[in-house]
Structure 1
């Protein structure tokens, strides 16, 4: 196992990693921390070889990747693979090959055995003691903070287990003490120890730990322990026993997660007179985010009033009552401007999203508009993903309708029938709690629609009936919710054949939130059916610009590929389908398009392979079934082209 927690060690068993230089090892370390999304090549060069010329840095990176491929090819490192293309590099490996990945996986499982194993894995700070350039250390810092915060949460979770075994208590105490070595003022770790001592009947040890906690917090931060920490000493009952939960109900508007956009920091010398540049960007970003109905955005006046007061986002979150903080920096070199923006969760200080934008000072207004548009487009899914992760951590019995809906999102995006069915179940639970929850009805309509068009159900009429019922329920309840309107547009356009109503809903959604990547993509699919292929392609490309790492970005790319295919530019369409299917082989429905377009392009080998993959995943697929369930059936000209391709590829006429 590659070790990154408390040390950095590439040795596997008795096999020492030879022929791996220090810089190559650092490349591997960065890829491990970056995880599945990998890193851009230019980003790695900037972090590790920033003082070299670009061509030298890229050459050094290529050599490092060669060394790492040789390292990964060792027989005792089965499953390790360095995956690269012209733009990115990432590590592919089983979760149990890397302690950090296994730690994250075990924590997410949440079972007592998994939590104990995770505690054993955490031997200290992420990449502790590793010497690296300042740029790389700055990039690593928020990842270290996130890992440390997870370990703190793990220590508390172990201390709160329903059945605190001797082994679990020992694991929790060892982990908490290890964390206190790194940060003596980590109140969560003190709290875990106090709780463990209390539950073991060691009252004096608990009191002693509280005293240590009080002194550490006073010395480091000048504050007293939180009320919930002090309460552990006065509550001699099992603090896991909760009072009966209040009746579940739909959260009021104030329950929406809140965001503040802080004034950006000027990093270049002599930029004091240019504060207006950063302030203008902040104002545009604040105004643009305010249009997103899922989040409550703090007024810019409050943010600017706090400009000098807060150095710590955690304290800022408490004082302004916000869950998320947007921070940014501005650099200038002559007429060139570089703006960096990041999204941080206030309580944990975890970095959720970051991006960089370049432009010219003479195009200032265009630059402000572009940054505001792209930040809002990319930040919406990042904020949503953070809320989803928060909902996952709630005990099932305490889930409100809103949190059940949040848990349905990743299942709706998962590209598989099983997860779509689970999403339907979650949405029905949310509706049972709050029958007036319009967004839940709208997403339910979309989920049933997906069952039709992706052939996840062969009872298309039943799914359409359920989708229509959900549409009718949602229409009376969604008010001005752009996401719900987009979901209705998807359901109406995909499976119910009501293109005009679908377009009306999606265009209304875009008027309310012009930076919704999903709404732009849905408009693109509607325009495909209307045979407005160039406009449709523009919509998909805009969605990708707005949210390049969106959980539905694969769908946006497939939209572009579909447009190219119907424009008979098969040489542009086919590589996109191949790229998406290589990355997401479970998207079997994409083979419907690839098989047809490959056959029309004359590549019968590819057409046959793609058709085989489709029939393996969906044995009942046939031209007759496509006439009933394929969304393209509502466009006679385009559907005729697909039917011709399917026949050439050998798709059966009947199931």
Structure 2
């Protein structure tokens, strides 16, 4: 359903807001807040109604709601003074008072007049010209919960292989894995992810034998378009994976030439033991907290100790050192910076055609070695190799922020969020968009995005700093000081004078904005 009001169009299916001919960047919860107000425009909506509907059972302050209302008004061209669209009702709540026209999609209108003989798979959002697929987590039938990571790794490698086909829109691994514990019909998941096809399957591992089953599902009809079973010894695991990827690609587009199918094959390492360590390390890394990174780092080291040519393991270890640095967790900053730089350069040397290795290593190099041109070039190379790699899009966005390209950075983050809409690393993307808005002088938008990120990971130092700075710059000093108290707890050593040692903000005007906001919020100069 789409809602038209004033010069705006609110598209609930595509989660897009446009004003005139321009698409408006709006934080996810601000979008949900606007949608709720528009859908309930016939009544006054109380603050508790909004908090329940948009934030669920999370505990958030009233100031968070206020900042999101401000972000909504700014996005639709309204203001607290005019209140032409969103009106505050004293001691009652809010009401959307604009004239709204509901508009169904053309396909929906046609369906009322004439029922098609066969449903056509709907493409992923924004990808009408390309086939789209999501690969769901494979069921672990080994009887050993500890082997679940192995099944997850199989799916990740299949996604990576499929993503090498530039014509195929592939939902990122982290978004499809969000449905790992959900008892939902496959077609419901497919529609939620906005894809035309789903791949699901199972892995049974016993001793040195592995059996893999897979089936391709048409989301619209529920028909099974393809199914197969593969069995072999553990040493042949990557060959089995390649056969699955090839069969899926063949089922979707049998006209694809063999050369392109071959490019769908990807083997990160020939050592299954090293790969086991790598997968275990990834499971920790995605949690993002200090304890998880401390557990991930030795696993990546063990992976490339077993297989010295394992590029992605080197890259992820380097990225762990970056993440320790950006959160103020480094125990020996100089030593960790040198070691992270060495590992990142080794990853680039080993993984010239490995998009994942180039992405994480390039991003780490930019931060640890201060070489942003090289970092962006490496991530751009990764996107050439795998245009559906969400992490390359959002980490490339961060490097563009630090180089002073805020609008380009926002485009990168938004593309990453379209590729992976329920990504566990979504908090990073939200925080990146918040920083870009802060540098662009859009303080309410910066606050809204940062507060969204904070609810996902309260320990992310950069997010808390953005909340403090943006609140202060928008005149909300008391709330900014509250955020500053949290910031000082996360990193007691942070000062205005060492900001650039923490975040590599290249442009002086951007640094001045950030520093002034933190200074107003109460961060000491020295």
Scaled to the shorter chain, the TM-score interval is 0.5 to 0.7
1:478 equivalent among 351, 354, 364: 351
Q: Residues 612, 324 of structure 1: CA spacing in aligned structure 2 closer, same or farther, 3 A cutoff?
A: farther
**1:565 aligned residue:** 438
Task: Find the aligned partners of 2:331 and 2:296 in 1 and give their Cα distance.
Answer: 18
**2:392 aligned residue:** 519
Task: Find the aligned partners of 2:285 and 2:434 in 1 and give their Cα distance.
Answer: 22
Q: Residues 509, 325 of structure 1: CA spacing in aligned structure 2 closer, same or farther, 3 A cutoff?
A: farther
1:278-293 correspondence runs (5 A) = 287-288=168-169
Equivalent pair of 2:311/2:351 in contact (CA under 8 Å): yes
Q: Residues 560, 345 of structure 1: CA spacing in aligned structure 2 closer, same or farther, 3 A cutoff?
A: farther
Task: Find the aligned partners of 2:225 and 2:497 in 1 and give their Cα distance.
Answer: 50
Q: Residues 457, 327 of structure 1: CA spacing in aligned structure 2 closer, same or farther, 3 A cutoff?
A: same
Q: Residues 439, 653 of structure 1: CA spacing in aligned structure 2 closer, same or farther, 3 A cutoff?
A: same
2:477 equivalent among 600, 604, 607: 604
- Kindly report structure 1 stretches of 4+ aligned residues shifted beyond 6 Å: 253-256, 259-262, 312-318, 339-347
Q: Residues 342, 643 of structure 1: CA spacing in aligned structure 2 closer, same or farther, 3 A cutoff?
A: farther
Task: Find the aligned partners of 2:417 and 2:486 in 1 and give their Cα distance.
Answer: 27
Partner SS for 1:638: helix
**1:425 aligned residue:** 298
Equivalent pair of 2:277/2:299 in contact (CA under 8 Å): yes
1:648 equivalent among 515, 520, 523: 520
Query: Number of residues paired by the alignment?
Result: 338
Once the two structures are TM-superposed, the CA of residue 291 in structure 1 deviates from its matched residue by 12
Partner SS for 1:585: coil
TM-score (norm 2): 0.54
1:251-400 correspondence runs (5 A) = 257-258=157-158, 287-288=168-169, 322=212, 324-330=214-220, 400=273
Task: Find the aligned partners of 2:229 and 2:167 in 1 and give their Cα distance.
Answer: 17
Task: Find the aligned partners of 1:458 and 1:484 in 2 and give their Cα distance.
Answer: 25
Equivalent pair of 2:394/2:412 in contact (CA under 8 Å): yes
**1:509 aligned residue:** 382
Once the two structures are TM-superposed, the CA of residue 604 in structure 1 deviates from its matched residue by 0.6
Does residue 455 in structure 1 map to residue 345 in structure 2?
Answer: no
Q: Residues 621, 402 of structure 1: CA spacing in aligned structure 2 closer, same or farther, 3 A cutoff?
A: same
1:595 equivalent among 454, 463, 468: 468
Higher relative contact order (CA 8 A, sep 6+): 2
Equivalent pair of 1:317/1:346 in contact (CA under 8 Å): no
Task: Find the aligned partners of 1:635 and 1:430 in 2 and give their Cα distance.
Answer: 38
Once the two structures are TM-superposed, the CA of residue 314 in structure 1 deviates from its matched residue by 6.2
**1:85 aligned residue:** 53
Partner SS for 1:85: helix
Gaps of 5+ in 2: 1-31, 33-38, 60-135, 147-152, 174-198, 231-251, 254-263, 265-270
Gaps of 5+ in 1: 1-40, 42-54, 70-81, 93-145, 161-252, 263-283, 293-311, 332-338, 348-367, 370-379, 381-397
Q: Which structure's CA Rg is the greater one?
A: 1
**1:554 aligned residue:** 427
**1:490 aligned residue:** 363
**1:638 aligned residue:** 510
Equivalent pair of 1:570/1:601 in contact (CA under 8 Å): yes
Task: Find the aligned partners of 2:289 and 2:492 in 1 and give their Cα distance.
Answer: 16
TM-score (norm 1): 0.44
Partner SS for 2:460: coil
Equivalent pair of 1:317/1:324 in contact (CA under 8 Å): no
Q: Residues 460, 322 of structure 1: CA spacing in aligned structure 2 closer, same or farther, 3 A cutoff?
A: same
Task: Find the aligned partners of 1:84 and 1:630 in 2 and give their Cα distance.
Answer: 35
Q: Residues 438, 569 of structure 1: CA spacing in aligned structure 2 closer, same or farther, 3 A cutoff?
A: same
Deviations 1:431-455 (A, max 9, x none): 1111111111111111111222221
**1:468 aligned residue:** 341
Q: Which has the higher strand share?
A: 2
Q: Residues 521, 460 of structure 1: CA spacing in aligned structure 2 closer, same or farther, 3 A cutoff?
A: same
